Amino acid sequence: MQLDNDKQLCISDPLQDSEVLLRAMVENLPSGAAFVVGSDLRYRLAEGEALSAAGFKPEDLVGHTIFEVLPPDLAASYEGLYRKGLAGETFEHEHNAHDRFYISRGTPLRSANGEVYAVLTVSYDITDRKRIEAERKQAEAAAAADLEDTQRLRELSTRLVAEDDIQTLYQEIVATAIALTRADAGSVQILDEATQDCLLLAAQGFE
């Protein structure tokens, strides 16, 4: 009898064991967080550095539904994703929350008989990656703009050599100057040394 009791003490819930193991793995997940959401859309686990970085503690989420914790728009978005996971599918979702960017990947958790009982979602903070991507795009755009400006100057030089009409030359110069400076309008003026007045030679964009 004692042996039977000892055996009973050794028997544990495999689902609970798996979540305990998972919690131990993700408590210090670098720049990330892990969540287990049950079929009732209630958090069973919430751990990770990204959780505290967003101002949450595990107890703020565990035991609560996504509708009780998340803003309505985010809860509605995640409801669809968690329903997808509970249906046995994986998902990936990128979003902005708490002034940070995250990518979340979800996968169904199955019991020994293969039944989906919850969804595991791992979220990573990708804010730095997004910043680097934005800086790279800005640098590429600046390089493309510089190349375009160089081409404009070359074209202007070619036209200046071939053009005989001085007024047309002035208009070409104004148009190129406006394009190079990203301005809405521009003009070319010269100073009359005798009268100290500015004489307008050409203008564009002031209509």
Residue 88 belongs to domain with CATH number: 3.30.450.20
Answer with the one of 97, 125, 153 that is the final residue of a domain: 125
Q: Are residues 46 and 64 in contact, defined by beta-carbon separation less than 8 angstroms?
A: no
Within a domain: 153: yes
Whether residues 101 and 159 fall in one domain: no
Whether residues 106 and 165 fall in one domain: no
* Boundaries of domain holding 26: 2-125
Q: Are residues 206 and 187 in contact, defined by beta-carbon separation less than 8 angstroms?
A: yes
Whether residues 29 and 88 fall in one domain: yes
Count of domains observed in the chain: 2
Answer with the one of 68, 91, 125 that is the final residue of a domain: 125
Within a domain: 131: no
Answer with the one of 125, 151, 175 that is the final residue of a domain: 125
Whether residues 33 and 120 fall in one domain: yes
Q: Which two tokens stand for residue 155?
A: 């074209």
- The pTM of this model reads 0.57
Instruction: State the pLDDT at residue 18.
Output: 55
Whether residues 66 and 96 fall in one domain: yes
Q: Are residues 114 and 104 in contact, defined by beta-carbon separation less than 8 angstroms?
A: no
Whether residues 35 and 89 fall in one domain: yes
Query: Going residue by residue through the chain (207 aa), what tens digit of pLDDT does each one get?
Result: 344 444 333 334 445 555 565 665 555 566 788 899 999 999 999 888 888 777 888 899 999 999 999 889 889 989 999 999 999 999 998 888 777 888 889 999 988 888 999 999 988 888 888 888 878 888 888 788 777 877 777 777 776 666 677 778 778 788 888 887 888 888 878 787 778 888 777 788 887
Whether residues 60 and 97 fall in one domain: yes
Residue 104: strand, helix, or coil = strand
User: What angle (nearest 5°) sits at the alpha carbon of residue 70, between those of residues 65 and 71?
Assistant: 135
Give the torsion sign (CA, 90, 96, 99, 103): positive
Torsion of CA 129, 76, 50, 26, to 10 degrees: -110
Whether residues 62 and 155 fall in one domain: no
